[in-house]
Amino acid sequence: MEKTIEHTSQQAEIYLPSIYSLTLEQLQAWMAEQGEKPFRAVQVYEWLYEKRVTSFAEMTNLPKSLREKLATQFTITTLKTLVQQTSKDGTMKFLFELHDGYSIETVLMRHDYGNSICVTTQVGCRIGCTFCASTLGGLKRHLEAGEIVAQVVKVQKVLDEQGERVDSIVVMGIGEPFDNYDELIKFLKIVNHPKGLHIGARHITVSTSGIIPKIYQFADEGTQINFAISLHAPTTELRTKLMPINKAYPLPKLMEAVRYYVEKTGRRVTFEYGLFGGVNDQIEHAEQLVELLKGLKCHVNLIPVNYVPERNYVRTPREQIFAFERTLKKHGINVTIRREQGHDIDAACGQLRAKERKEETR
Ligand code: SAH
């Protein structure tokens, strides 16, 4: 009896890699190793990303032996929906369970320019921003590329029922994408590929808290993907108070890296600036921000703080948000105030997971 139990639990620990983690080139290389033709990889991609099947058995134009071989080596990751909430404004929030029991969040936002999905890259986060719910409980593990891809496929399947598609992706869910860099890059290649989900690079945005070496690396990737920096403060002293990562990667060095990015890619960069009441939301901060960003091809996105029960930050009054915005505009800085969506459904990073999975986030 005991033996059987041991056997079962060992079986449960055998985890096959996700087929969604393979770029088309990697899948072609795998096919070649098996003595198969490269077009077989394209066929598999079509089944996965166009027809969106959930088993290898359904891939009926592949030889049965190949389907069986695929099934012994890979899994088609399925995410179990633990919670699905729909906001009055149409925003949908999902709490998904991974194969090992950890949970992640994915958000679908409805804009007049299309459907946008916000994906998670890590179970938890180790960056420790003082205002963020995603970092409560630290980092549990990285996601593999296929687990990030699976979020998009899963939400696309929900949209399939309405005859709609995922038009854009923001990598702004739980986790620090540049702390899981290689899997992030694979994910970007897969969703961007014409035979993959075919989402245009200019419709994808990656945001980082500021891991400087990875900013240089990302600049050198030569992609057209949009790039955002979580700035949140105009001076290094204040930024350190809000974001401990500023000790390892201080603001002046961060700005050097961002300037390198803009020069190298010719693309403008977005700065996310959360307004935390009484902390970084005064006119003097707006003026310091003007100084910091002078001459840089950029856009500032002001985010009124999302209240997190575990954190003490309060909202900036509306009038003051507008005054902050006016100060930036007056000096020629492109600025928008983030439209709030899903306010009634815990749609800020990590909030739903923090609420539903207390044991994971402590
Ligand atoms: N780790 C990456 C990706 C997360 S993007 C990054 O830091 O860029 C999510 C954005 O929401 C980041 O700019 C983050 O700083 C911001 N954010 C997190 N918690 C927030 C809160 N309570 N209120 C407003 N913005 C918040």
Q: Tell me how crowded residue 225 is: count the other CB atoms within 10 A of its CB.
A: 20
Residue 118 a catalytic site member: no
Per residue in 156-198, pLDDT tens?
999 999 999 999 999 999 999 999 999 999 999 999 999 999 9
Sheet holding 80-86, edge to edge: 80-86, 92-97, 103-111, 114-118, 166-171, 204-208, 226-230, 269-275, 298-304, 334-337
Residue of the CA atom closest to atom 14 of ligand 1: 230
175 annotated to a ligand binding site:
yes
Structural contact between residues 70 and 49, judged by C-beta atoms closer than 8 angstroms: no
Work out the mean pLDDT of the chain and round it to a whole number: 93
**Who lines ligand 1 at CB under 6 A?**
129, 131-132, 172, 176, 207-209, 230, 272, 274, 303, 305-306, 308, 348-349
**% of the chain surpassing 70 pLDDT:** 94
Report the atom number in ligand 1 closest to the C-alpha of 306.
23
Question: In the predicted model, what is the mean pLDDT of residues 307-311?
Answer: 78
Q: What's the 132 CA to ligand 1 centre distance in angstroms?
A: 6
**pLDDT, tens digit, 9 for 90 and up, residues 197-224:** 999 999 999 999 999 999 999 999 999 9
Position 225 pLDDT exceeds 50: yes
* pLDDT in the model for residue 345: 66
Q: What distances in angstroms separate CA 283 from CA 289, 299, 326, one per listed residue?
A: 10, 18, 10
Amino acid at position 124, single letter: G
Around Cβ 269, how many Cβ atoms within 10 Å?
Answer: 20
User: Any idea where the domains of the chain sit in the sequence?
Assistant: 23-73, 102-356
**Percent of the chain predicted with pLDDT > 90:** 86
Q: Which two tokens stand for residue 181?
A: 């860099």
**Distance between Cα 231 and ligand 1 center (Å):** 10
Distance from the CA of 305 to the center of ligand 1, in angstroms?
9
User: 121-135, 254-268, 333-347: which has the minimum mean pLDDT?
Assistant: 333-347
Atom number of ligand 1 nearest to Cα 131: 22
331 has a pLDDT exceeding 70: yes
For the residues 249-266, what does the mean pLDDT come to?
A: 97
Mean pLDDT value across residues 316-331: 96
Is 325 labeled as catalytic in the residue annotation? no
The pLDDT assigned to 11 comes to: 44
**Partners of residue 169 on adjacent β-strands:** 117, 204
Query: Does residue 236 surpass a pLDDT of 80?
Result: yes
Give mean pLDDT, residues 5-32. 78
Please compute the mean of the pLDDT values over residues 96-123 and round it to a whole number: 96
Per-residue pLDDT tens digits for 113-138: 899 999 999 999 999 999 999 999 99
H helix and E strand count, the chain: 13, 12
Which entry of 105, 144, 147, 272 is annotated as an active-site residue?
105
CA-CA distance, 337 to 345, in Å (whole number)?
20
What local confidence, expressed as pLDDT, does residue 13 receive? 57
- What's the one-letter identity of residue 304? P
Residues in the chain: 362
**DSSP character at residue 134:** T
Helix (H) or strand (E) holding 154: helix 145-160
Residue 6 predicted with pLDDT over 50? no
**1: confidence class by pLDDT, cuts 50, 70, 90:** very low
What number is the average pLDDT over the span 65-77? 97
* pLDDT on residue 10: 41
Confidence of residue 355 (pLDDT cuts 50, 70, 90): confident
Under CATH, to which class is 23-73 assigned? Answer: mainly alpha
The CATH fold of domain 102-356:
TIM Barrel (3.20.20)
- Among residues 2, 342, 169, which one has the least CA distance to residue 352? 342
Catalytic residue among 144, 147, 183, 349: 349
Q: How would residue 8 be classed by pLDDT, with cut points 50, 70 and 90?
A: very low
**Whole-number Å distance between alpha carbons of 18 and 21:** 5
pLDDT for res 348: 64
Highest mean pLDDT among 9-13, 255-259, 308-312, 337-341: 255-259
